[in-house]
Each structure stands twice: as C-alpha cells, then as structure tokens.
Amino acid sequence: MPKTSQSKKAKGKAVKSDLPKRSSGKKFQLQWYDEYPEWRNWVRPIKNDNLFYCRACKKPFSCSKSNIECHEKTKVHAKAFSLLKFDEARILSQTASGKFLTRSGSTVEVEDYSVLNMADRKPEEIVTECSPEKKVKSELEKCENDVSVHKSAISLSNFQMKRLLNVNSARKQVFVEGNFAGHDSSAIVILEKKSFPVEEIFLNRGFFNEGTIIRKNYRNGIYGNYECFPTREYNGINATVIHPASQSHLDKYSVKELHLVEETYETYKNITLPHIESQQFSLEWVDNILAHRAEADRIIYEDKNKETGFLMLPDLKWDGNPESLTVLALAIKRIKSIRELNASHLPLLKNIQKAGIETILKKYNVPASRLRIYLHYRPSYYHLHVHFTYLMFESQGTFVEKAHLLSTVIQNIELMPDYYQKASLSFAVAENDPLYKKYQEHGLLPSETSSSAETS
Ligand code: G7M
C-alpha cells in the first residue's frame, strides 16, 4: 500500500483535530490479536500513536487493552459493529486505501490492513492475496510451465470462454473453461450468485431503496413480474478462478454421469488407494495454509499440537454471508481421509469438534445445534478436514453418499476402534473419473456406460 509523505502530513492534522482527549492509552500490541482474535474485525492500530481506530464506530479511541474491552461492550459499538459486518462497500473502500474517515470527514491512516478478516472481503481481494509479494506458489499440478494468473491483478475481460462445463440452476452457478490472454493453459471460472441477507435492515439498505432499478415484465391481475437491478455493492457475485487448471479439475467440474460404488476396505487398499497415490489433487494449498504462507489472516483458530492440533478458516467458496456459513478445520497431521481413522485419532476428532464449535459460537454467534459438522468420503483433497456449515444452508456435498457427520464418525470409532478399516463405504464416481475405469476393470461396475446401454 503506497504511503506518500503528503498523506502522512494530512494524517497528522486529521488525527489532532479528531482525537479524543488523551492519552492514557499505550501503543497497540499485535499480540493482542492472538488473545482476542475477534478484534481483528474492527480494531486497527493508528500509526505512531497511543490510539486505536474502531472500524465500526469510525472513530479513534485511547488504546489500552482495558479500554478496548470496555469499548467492545458499549451498546453504540455493538450496533455499529453489526452494521459494519454487512456493509461490504465500506469495507472494500477501507481495505483498499488503508485510510479511514473520521466523523469530521478527515482521515487517519491505520496500520497493516492485511490483518483484516478475510471472511469480510470480496472474492476479488482474495485473489490478490496471491500477489508476488506474498510469494505464494499456486497449485500448478500438471501445468507447471504456465505462470498463474493470480500473480497479478486479473481482469475477466481477458478471459476467452472455451466451453461451458456445467450449470447448476438450483445453486445459481456456472462453471466455465477458458483462457486468460497471455496464458496457454486452461482456467476454470466458477460464478455463483450470492445469497440474500436476511436481516431487515440490510434488505432495506440493499434492495428497497432509490438506487434499485425495477422494470416491469408483465402483469396478470394482482400478480406482477419485475426485473430488478440492485446497486453495485448488493449485486456482486462470488467468483472462483482456478488457474492453471489440470485435466482433473476440468473433469471435476464437467457434467458427468455418476455411479455408486460400495468400497470395502480391501477394494480401498487395492483400487482406491493406489489411485489416490498416483493422481490426487495437489495439497499445496493445504500446506500453504498450515505453514501460514497463504490465507494467514483468514485463520480464525489454531492449535499447533502435532497430533491433536488443527486450524480453522473460512472455506474458499464462502461468500461471508452468515446464512451460508462454511468453515473448514484442517488437521495439522497428514491423515488422508476417514479410511485411515482409528481410536488413536479420537483426541484429534474430539478437539476439532469441541474447539471448532466454541470458535464458531464466539466468532459468528452460531450455536452447535445450528451447525452441520461433517467430513467427505471421498474428499477432493486427501488431507483430513472437517466442514462446518450452517444447518439451514443446503451446501454442496451433503448427499448421503458423501457426507459423514463428525459425531457419527467419533461414535463409530468409539464402538469399534477399527470401524473405518472394516466398514464398506459408498460413494459416487463419475464416468469421466479414471477411478471409474479401475472399478470397471475389476468387474465392480458394469462395463457398459448408461449412454451406450441406451443406444443398444
Ligand atoms: O470435497 P472436500 O471435502 O475435499 O472439500 C474441500 C474443501 O476445501 C472445499 O469446500 C473447497 O471449497 C475448500 N478449498 C479448496 N481450496 C483449493 C481451498 C483454498 O485454497 N482455500 C480454502 N480456504 N478452502 C479451499
């Protein structure tokens, strides 16, 4: 973030005229963020001053630990903070400039915008996290020769569409394959409409206002149908860009016919495991997170214990709306999947369950009874992770043949320590997945595909 001497001068003045009588405070200590992780959302140190800036109240305050604690408890702050959470436009402009407007209209400059919670950010900002400065290697897999588009700011006008891979009308998603200008290898762009805020105040602010354009399509008696164009900040969509995308990625996101496989532990050892070992998706993104090389400022909980530790952060595809809450817990230890779990992993699983629930309650105010906590089998990425999603959100991958509740996994192992080395596990496999062919070769799936059967 460039900081000119001019802006520093301006800042000096602004701070003087705006600041509260001071200063019983002390300079903000970054370790306070570790002690109070939720402060990352709203407390910003002010450069070279014994003050902190409250992003919610848009005001500087004297900066002692007890003062911040007291301020957090005030009604005025609680109200301002709840407004802040949804005011994406303001968040965006604040994070972009690193300067904040005070009530009198002047600005103060605050430190290190990278501590901002990423759950609050727009997807395009998440993309810029992979900047050259951060030296985050992208997932190259089989496309190692092409430089990732994430290394610099991207523009979708440079994206040449090649193929529509899939459409999910229920979830309002499109999956498109194409190329970014100057890059040979394929990219996948996933666009997804965001869910609506449910609080009246945000619906009102976002949609029922003068800025929203509404056009009549037709009327039939008491019924009218209209097309609506909300203001820019409220009509954003979530975009995920995968580049360079490997053939496995293209297969994963393409339309395909599915078949159900009932995998015994024997077929896991003889067919599935060799397949995973030869062609699983790269775990580089997981390792980057675990080593704090990527998404470090999105981490909401971390327990570094090598056996029982884990780390929590928002899922890549979460748009930040509480109604679609999607958080991931990544185990520190490399464990491939639930197939490897036994009694020795119970402390880890119980730790994820307990501390994960506590963290989500503290951070997002969602109690355990409103959470769906589960693991996938088969997962896309073979490093043990647990999904925490809002129960009323119909998240992807919660089909009975894929989602395994964490509580059930724990109970199964408590009842039988080697349950996951004994039980048959069913999963769906797509016809264009190489694993499908392997199961076919072993006579465990019919040799004729559904399409060829239809024509015969
Ligand atoms: O299907 P599986 O259980 O393996 O789910 C993996 C989850 O990891 C999905 O919900 C993805 O959206 C999420 N995910 C994948 N990547 C590549 C990332 C990433 O780079 N960062 C984060 N935070 N989540 C990811």
Give tens-digit pLDDT for 224-239: 999 999 988 888 899 9
Residues 356 and 328 both lie in one domain: yes
Helices (H) and strands (E) in the chain, counts: 15, 19
The predicted pLDDT at position 160 comes to 95
More reliable by pLDDT, 159 or 320: 159
- For residue 344, tell me if it sits in a domain: yes
Give the HSE-up count for residue 344: Cα atoms under 13 Å, Cβ half-sphere.
5
Give the HSE-up count for residue 427: Cα atoms under 13 Å, Cβ half-sphere.
25
Residues 305 and 333 both lie in one domain: yes
Find, among 88, 128, 161, 100, the residue nearest to 321 by Cα.
88
More reliable by pLDDT, 2 or 171: 171
Q: Is 385 considered catalytic here?
A: yes
How far is the C-alpha of 288 from the C-alpha of 161, rounded, in Å? 30
Gyration radius of the chain over CA positions? 25
Residue 142 tokens read as: 């089989």
Global pTM value:
0.60
Name the closest-CA residue to atom 16, ligand 1: 316
Q: Which residues contact 387 (CB under 8 A, 6 or more apart)?
A: 315, 326, 327, 328, 372, 373, 374, 375, 376, 395, 397, 403
Residue 325 tokens read as: 């809450």
Average pLDDT over residues 36-55: 78
- For residue 248, tell me if it sits in a domain: no
* Average pLDDT in the chain: 80
- Judge whether 203 and 156 are in contact, CB under 8 Å: no
Q: Is the CB of 381 under 6 A from ligand 1?
A: yes
The predicted pLDDT at position 248 comes to 84
Average pLDDT over residues 204-211: 89
Tens of pLDDT, residues 118-154: 333 333 332 332 332 333 333 344 445 567 898 888 8
Name the closest-CA residue to atom 9, ligand 1: 315
Name the closest-CA residue to atom 8, ligand 1: 315
The predicted pLDDT at position 44 comes to 82
Atom of ligand 1 at shortest range from CA of 380? 4
Q: In a mutational test of the pocket of ligand 1, which residue from 192, 248, 315 has the highest number of ligand atoms less than 8 Å from its CB? A: 315
Residues 73 and 169 both lie in one domain: no
The predicted pLDDT at position 85 comes to 60
- For residue 365, tell me if it sits in a domain: yes
End residue of a domain, out of 116, 138, 168: 116
End residue of a domain, out of 71, 86, 116: 116
The 3-state secondary structure of 283-314 reads CHHHHHHHCCCCCHHHCCEEECCCCCCEEEEE
Query: Which residue of the set 71, 150, 385, 387 is catalytic?
Result: 385
The predicted pLDDT at position 417 comes to 98
How far is the C-alpha of 404 from the C-alpha of 413, rounded, in Å? 13
The predicted pLDDT at position 140 comes to 41
How far is the C-alpha of 173 from the C-alpha of 196, rounded, in Å? 15
User: What's the domain range around 215?
Assistant: 200-229
More reliable by pLDDT, 65 or 449: 65
Highest mean pLDDT among 19-23, 86-90, 336-340: 336-340
Q: Is the CB of 316 under 6 A from ligand 1?
A: yes
Task: Compute the distance from residue 26 Cα to the ligand 1 centre, in Å.
Answer: 40
Q: Is the CB of 241 under 6 A from ligand 1?
A: no
Task: Compute the distance from residue 133 Cα to the ligand 1 centre, in Å.
Answer: 23
How far is the C-alpha of 393 from the C-alpha of 244, rounded, in Å? 30
Task: Compute the distance from residue 248 Cα to the ligand 1 centre, in Å.
Answer: 15
Taking 70 as the threshold, does the pLDDT of residue 454 lie above it?
Answer: no
Residue 198 tokens read as: 């449910």
Q: Which range among 15-24, 201-210, 405-414 shows the weakest confidence by mean pLDDT?
A: 15-24
Average pLDDT over residues 62-67: 84
The predicted pLDDT at position 146 comes to 67
Q: Is the CB of 123 under 6 A from ligand 1?
A: no
The predicted pLDDT at position 33 comes to 78
Q: Which range among 197-211, 286-300, 343-357 shows the weakest confidence by mean pLDDT?
A: 197-211
Residues 279 and 387 both lie in one domain: yes
Taking 60 as the threshold, does the pLDDT of residue 17 lie above it?
Answer: no
The CATH number that applies at residue 285 is: 3.30.428.10
Determine phi and psi for 175, rounding to 5 degrees: -120, 120
How far is the C-alpha of 24 from the C-alpha of 68, rounded, in Å? 12
Residues 312 and 183 both lie in one domain: no
Q: Which residues contact 60 (CB under 8 A, 6 or more apart)?
A: 15, 18, 19, 20, 46, 49, 51, 52, 53, 54, 102, 108
Number of domains in the chain: 4
Would you call 123 exposed, middle or buried from its count of C-beta atoms within 10 A (0-12, 13-18, 19+)? Answer: buried
Atom of ligand 1 at shortest range from CA of 326? 10
Taking 50 as the threshold, does the pLDDT of residue 261 lie above it?
Answer: yes
- For residue 246, tell me if it sits in a domain: no
Identify the DSSP state of 57: T
Identify the DSSP state of 101: E
Task: Compute the distance from residue 316 Cα to the ligand 1 centre, in Å.
Answer: 6
Residues 280 and 353 both lie in one domain: yes
The predicted pLDDT at position 170 comes to 81
Residues 97 and 176 both lie in one domain: no
Residues 143 and 212 both lie in one domain: no
Task: Compute the distance from residue 116 Cα to the ligand 1 centre, in Å.
Answer: 21
How far is the C-alpha of 49 from the C-alpha of 96, rounded, in Å? 22
More reliable by pLDDT, 147 or 101: 147
Q: Is the CB of 328 under 6 A from ligand 1?
A: yes
Taking 50 as the threshold, does the pLDDT of residue 7 lie above it?
Answer: no
Q: Which residues contact 361 (CB under 8 A, 6 or more apart)?
A: 367, 368
Q: Which range among 23-32, 95-104, 157-166 shows the weakest confidence by mean pLDDT?
A: 95-104
> DSSP 3-state assignment of 70?
helix
Residues 264 and 305 both lie in one domain: yes
- For residue 245, tell me if it sits in a domain: no
End residue of a domain, out of 68, 89, 116: 116
Name the closest-CA residue to atom 3, ligand 1: 379
Residues 263 and 390 both lie in one domain: yes
Q: Is the CB of 419 under 6 A from ligand 1?
A: no
Residues 146 and 294 both lie in one domain: no
Task: Compute the distance from residue 387 Cα to the ligand 1 centre, in Å.
Answer: 9
Q: Is the CB of 285 under 6 A from ligand 1?
A: yes
Strands laid side by side in the 403-405 sheet:
301-303, 310-314, 326-331, 385-390, 371-376, 403-405
Residue 337 tokens read as: 């999947």
- Judge whether 295 and 313 are in contact, CB under 8 Å: yes
How far is the C-alpha of 337 from the C-alpha of 433, rounded, in Å? 19
Q: Which range among 54-58, 260-264, 270-274 shows the weakest confidence by mean pLDDT?
A: 54-58
Q: Is the CB of 44 under 6 A from ligand 1?
A: no
Q: Which residues are registered as beta bridge partners of 188?
A: 177, 242
The predicted pLDDT at position 45 comes to 79
Angle (CA) 393 398 403, round 5°: 135
Give the whole-number percent of the chain exceeding pLDDT 90: 48
> DSSP 3-state assignment of 221?
coil
Q: Which range among 50-54, 206-210, 255-259 shows the weakest confidence by mean pLDDT?
A: 50-54
Task: Compute the distance from residue 64 Cα to the ligand 1 centre, in Å.
Answer: 38
Residues 307 and 423 both lie in one domain: yes
Q: Is the CB of 300 under 6 A from ligand 1?
A: no
Is residue 24 very low, low, confident or very high in pLDDT (cuts 50, 70, 90)? low
- What's the length of the chain? 456
The predicted pLDDT at position 337 comes to 97
Taking 80 as the threshold, does the pLDDT of residue 335 lie above it?
Answer: yes
Strands (E), 301-348: 301-303, 310-314, 326-331
- For residue 276, tell me if it sits in a domain: yes
Q: Give the ranges where 2-74 is alpha helix by DSSP (H).
A: 5-18, 32-35, 65-73
Taking 50 as the threshold, does the pLDDT of residue 420 lie above it?
Answer: yes
- For residue 267, tell me if it sits in a domain: yes
- For residue 446, tell me if it sits in a domain: no
The predicted pLDDT at position 81 comes to 77
Average pLDDT over residues 281-303: 95
Identify the DSSP state of 185: S
The predicted pLDDT at position 84 comes to 67
